[in-house]
Structure 1
Amino acid sequence: MSIKVEVVPHDPNWRSAFETESKLMALALGENVVAIHHIGSTAIPQIHAKPIVDMLVEVKDILKIDTHSSEMAALGYQAMGEFGIPGRRFFRKARTHHIHSFEVGSPQIERHLAFRDYMITHTEAAQEYSELKRKLAKKYPDNIQGYMDEKDGFIKAMDLKAAKWRASH
């Protein structure tokens, strides 16, 4: 299955789309929710991104997420299970939102938040990432896996820098 790779300029409406959806998530998942974070490129001002709002939902008990599949389906989400990352519950809504849910204490939470915050405070790195995304979207217009694979090295390098930066703050 080929998925069109679309990378567009930053849209200030992504923030309100996150806020609206996070309220729905909090209602759907109930008291298990600890925090909901806007992550991914749509959370980084002034960079190009795929127009999909990524959300990280921090929960007390990851297994309880599985009991809320009908509530998530009612909101238009497809449950994808761990989807390649142990301890995660991944949901996707058409081509508008991705929900990454992790249990409190998961190192994945810190990794995602550190990357986001590093990119927000290090605008040169963010612009480098933006340019890479634009270049790869042109190179892989119908190959989401090729696009993801080729930006993986950059993301891993930034994850290391972000972790060091976060530890020093």
Structure 2
Amino acid sequence: MSKRIIDVVSYDPKWAKQFELESKAIKDVLGNIAVDIHHIGSTAVPGLAAKPIIDILVEVTDINFVDLLTSEFISLGYEAKGEFGISERRFFQKGGNNRTHHIHVFKAGDNNGELHITFRDYLIMYPDIAKEYGELKKQAALECNNDIDRYCSGKNDFIKYHLCGQ
């Protein structure tokens, strides 16, 4: 099995269209339990360098009902990962080591979901900070030796500071 490559690339305006297409398929699976579907993460911020993986946050009325729809997500090409380190989340990934999409499903109003949206909006509102974040991500990708935990660790202090002032 090949190893996942951590690659941060320049912003691609096609990411917005890729989100739109995938969000329609997700809405078809979830139907009325989907409250809202958001494009989050760095691919949602115009001009921001990112790993070319579309992060999608879905707010639902009932997180447990999502478990009954796992086979539908699998039929769309996703792998179900359960909570995957965040309580009360359902996480799905598409593309194996060549990821194309992540879905983060939270009950509407969940604080973890709200933080993702808040950080995205903050970066959109402050392009200079987004640019600084993009440079940090490029450096973290170069230094992490394709270790996703090291890559994420290289960004954590920046994110905490800008979300919480810590």
When normalised by structure 2's length, the TM-score is 0.94
| Structure 1: distance between partners of 2:162 and 2:80 | 29
Which residue does the alignment assign to 1:167? Answer: none
SS at match of 1:84: coil
How big is each residue's C-alpha offset from its partner over 1:65-98, in whole Å with a ceiling of 9 and x where there is no partner? 0000110000000000000000100000010000
Per the TM alignment, residue 141 of structure 1 is displaced from its structure 2 partner at its CA by 3.6
| Structure 1: distance between partners of 2:23 and 2:3 | 29
Per the TM alignment, residue 63 of structure 1 is displaced from its structure 2 partner at its CA by 0.1
Query: Which residue identity is paired with 1:40?
Result: G
| Structure 2: distance between partners of 1:158 and 1:13 | 27
Which residue does the alignment assign to 1:19? Answer: 20
1:86 aligns to 2:90 (yes or no): no
1:60 aligns to 2:64 (yes or no): no
When normalised by structure 1's length, the TM-score is 0.92
Contact 1:140 1:146 in 2 (8 A): yes
Which residue does the alignment assign to 2:111? Answer: 107
SS at match of 1:45: coil
SS at match of 2:86: coil
SS at match of 2:68: helix
Aligned-pair Cα RMSD in Å: 1.1
Contact 1:36 1:58 in 2 (8 A): yes
| Structure 2: distance between partners of 1:138 and 1:2 | 15
- When the two structures are aligned, how many residues end up with a matched partner? 161
Contact 1:5 1:50 in 2 (8 A): yes
Per the TM alignment, residue 2 of structure 1 is displaced from its structure 2 partner at its CA by 4.3
Which residue does the alignment assign to 2:122? Answer: 118
User: Gapped runs of 5+ residues in structure 1?
Assistant: 162-169
SS at match of 2:121: helix
User: Gapped runs of 5+ residues in structure 2?
Assistant: none
| Structure 2: distance between partners of 1:103 and 1:49 | 26
Which residue does the alignment assign to 2:139? Answer: 135
| Structure 2: distance between partners of 1:53 and 1:89 | 16
How big is each residue's C-alpha offset from its partner over 1:76-127, in whole Å with a ceiling of 9 and x where there is no partner? 0000000000010000001000000000120112211110011001011101
Which residue does the alignment assign to 2:157? Answer: 153
| Structure 2: distance between partners of 1:97 and 1:141 | 22
Identity %: 48
1:35 aligns to 2:40 (yes or no): no
Give the number of the structure whose residues are more often helix, by fraction.
Answer: 1
Contact 1:2 1:143 in 2 (8 A): no
Per the TM alignment, residue 30 of structure 1 is displaced from its structure 2 partner at its CA by 1.4
1:69 aligns to 2:70 (yes or no): yes
Query: Which residue identity is paired with 2:139?
Result: K
